[in-house]
Amino acid sequence: MQSFLDGLRRILGPAGLITDPADMAPYLTDWRRMFSGTALAVLRPANTDQVSEAIRLCAQDGVAIVPQGGNTGLAGGATPMGPAPQVVLSLSRMTAIGTPDPIGLVIEAQAGAILQRVKEVAADCGRQLPISLAAEGSATIGGIIATNAGGVNVLRYGMARDFVLGLEVVLPDGTVVNGLKPLRKDNAGFDWKHLFIGSEGAFGIVTAALLRLVPATRHRSVALLAVQDLQAAIRLLGLFQDRIGETLSAFELISADALRLVETQCGLVAPVTGGNWFLLVEAVSSLDGLSAGVEATLETAFSTGWVQDGTLAATEQQAQALWALREHVTEAEARCGKSLKHDVSLPVWGMGDFLDSIQEGLAGMAPAARMNVFGHLGDGNLHVNVILGDTPAACATDITRLVHDQIATAGGSISAEHGLGQYRLEEWRRLTPEAVLDLCIGIKRAMDPKALMNPGKAILGPFSPR
């Protein structure tokens, strides 16, 4: 192994290789501190050529590679697992961001660029990259693409996939494939970039991306509304779609319990009370007249009786304060100790029955556990997290099976936006039809015949045989 490490040092230089256990530690545990693993070294290449050469050496010596961006993933995808000799390949030194093209609506960024920074660069020239999530101050472009991240603006703008015009990737044998063409239309052959979007590092390393921008909007209205039940929330979604549909950029759900956690754990105060559920509604537009449209819609909403209480932000500062309530839910949950994350999507009309059945099952199975429900109602994605409290750890599998079995019955997905990582791999295997498993494993074997990319994550391979 010493000659392998010497080879890596020659390729990456002293700044590009970490072998000291204390310095490696932050790269070997995930954001939730739920998973940890071991690695021979952490690689921090400075450019694509170094990524390529390092991967070539790993392939030659049979060492597996765990790609890592900002390490904010919620499925353990960036943490080494299992006994195979492996290295973590961090993109944290590859952070260059190109000058945006404001008319062609394109920006180029290296994979390690932080999402928030890319958004700021786009905003400086009046353009917008509308991928928004609470982790955007640490999450990287490579990680966002590799997880096909969602976030709070999906109902208007789509997921990360919808913003990727081109990719540069390094394959598991070290080959660099450059697809950085700023084209909206390109049907010349397979659109292979889609294999890498949402692949969770199982097919290769994303080293750079060309991202689609949209014109910046000049007006935004943000409201926090309290409603009694989910049916009222869904009816309101319909009302907003009818009245101001194309401007609706977020329609987020927060349970009263989740909001209370934000208040008690993070010290924030909600200006709205009453109701079992809260809705964070945002509309944006470049045209004048947005606030009049939102106000008129809110008046109708109150007159229907579906809204118990509510507030419309009068200033940008108030808008940000309302958003902070939503953005702190994950942090508040993390401060409550161990929790199980269930990141599900299902048709909106099935959500009420689905949550009732989980609540009922949980009461019998784990009375000390508390549900922490919130999410992206506007695009059908709920986070049905369970804070374990004094629940015996041995109950975790049964709780997760309860949620996922109900989701399967409702025709939903067990991973709407966070991916499988190592967290949901077994559940995906349990609930996925044989033909789909075979197809996915076949693609994995074709892309990564030596199974060196991110073993044990995202797709089953020789390291976790079926």
146 interacts with ligand MLT by CB under 6 A? no
Among 44, 212, 220, 383, interactor with ligand MLT by CB under 6 A:
383
Structure tokens that stand for 78 in this block: 């960036």
CB of 437 to ligand MLT, least distance (A): 26
Give phi and psi for 427, each to the nearest 5: -65, -40
Query: Does 143 sit near ligand FAD (CB under 6 A)?
Result: yes
Asked if residue 330 binds ligand MLT (CB under 6 A), the reply is: yes
- Report the distance separating Cα 292 and Cα 372, nearest Å: 34
How many residues in the shown chain lie near ligand FAD by CB under 6 A? Answer: 37
Contact track, ligand FAD, 185-214, x by CB under 6 A: ---------------xx---xx--------
Q: Give me the 302-331 binding string for ligand FAD, x by CB under 6 A, dash otherwise.
A: ----------------------------x-
Q: Which does 78 bind (CB under 5 to 8 A by kind): ligand MLT, ligand FAD, none?
A: ligand FAD
Q: For residue 239, how many other CB atoms are within 10 A of its CB?
A: 17
Question: Which part of the chain contacts ligand FAD (CB under 6 A), choosing from 21-29, 388-396, 400-408, 413-421?
Answer: 413-421
CA–CA gap between residue 339 and residue 240 (Å, rounded)? 33
Q: Quick one: 396 exposed, middle or buried, by C-beta within 10 A (0-12, 13-18, 19+)?
A: middle
- Partner interacting with residue 108 (select from ligand MLT, ligand FAD, none; CB below 5-8 Å by kind): none
Q: Are strands 164-170 and 205-212 parallel, antiparallel or unpaired?
A: antiparallel
Of 52 and 68, which CB lies nearer to ligand FAD in the complex structure? 68
The residue within the footprint of ligand MLT, chosen from 91, 134, 387, 414 (CB under 6 A), is: 134
Of 91, 109, 112, 195, nearest to 148 by C-alpha is: 195
Q: How many of the chain's residues bind ligand MLT (CB under 6 A)?
A: 8
Q: Decide if residue 413 touches ligand MLT (CB under 6 A).
A: no
What residues numbered 102-141 form the site for ligand FAD, per CB under 6 A? 111, 133-135, 139-140
What does the alpha-carbon distance between residue 94 and residue 17 come to, in Å, rounded to a whole number?
A: 14
Nearer to ligand MLT by C-beta: 134 or 301? 134
Q: Which of 45, 150, 174, 179 binds ligand FAD (CB under 6 A)?
A: 150
- Assess 71 for contact with ligand FAD (CB under 6 A): yes
What is the smallest separation between the CB atom of 308 and ligand FAD, expressed in angstroms?
26
Residue 385 site contact among ligand MLT, ligand FAD, none (CB < 5 to 8 Å, cut-off depends on kind): ligand MLT
CB of 134 to ligand FAD, least distance (A): 4
Question: Of ligand MLT, ligand FAD, none, which one does residue 383 interact with (CB within 5 to 8 Å by kind)?
Answer: ligand MLT
Q: What one-letter code names the amino acid at 327? A: E
Q: Which of residues 340-379 bind ligand MLT (CB under 6 A)?
A: 341, 375
Nearer to ligand FAD, 173 or 309 (CB): 173
- Residues 13-42 touching ligand FAD, rule: CB under 6 A, are 31
Name residue, tokens 């969770």: 200
For residues 298 and 351, which CB has a smaller minimum distance to ligand FAD in the complex? 351
Distance CA 357, CA 374 (A): 16
Of 27-86, which residues contact ligand MLT (CB under 6 A)?
74
Closest CB to ligand MLT: residue number: 330
Q: Which residue from 144, 237, 244, 403 is in contact with ligand FAD, where contact means CB under 6 A?
A: 144
Nearer to ligand FAD, 109 or 283 (CB): 109
Q: What is the CA radius of gyration of the chain?
A: 23
Give the footprint of ligand MLT on this chain (CB under 6 A). 74, 134, 329-330, 341, 375, 383, 385
Residues that bind ligand FAD (CB under 6 A): 31, 66-74, 77-78, 91, 111, 133-135, 139-140, 142-144, 146-147, 149-151, 200-201, 205-206, 330, 417-418, 421, 454, 457
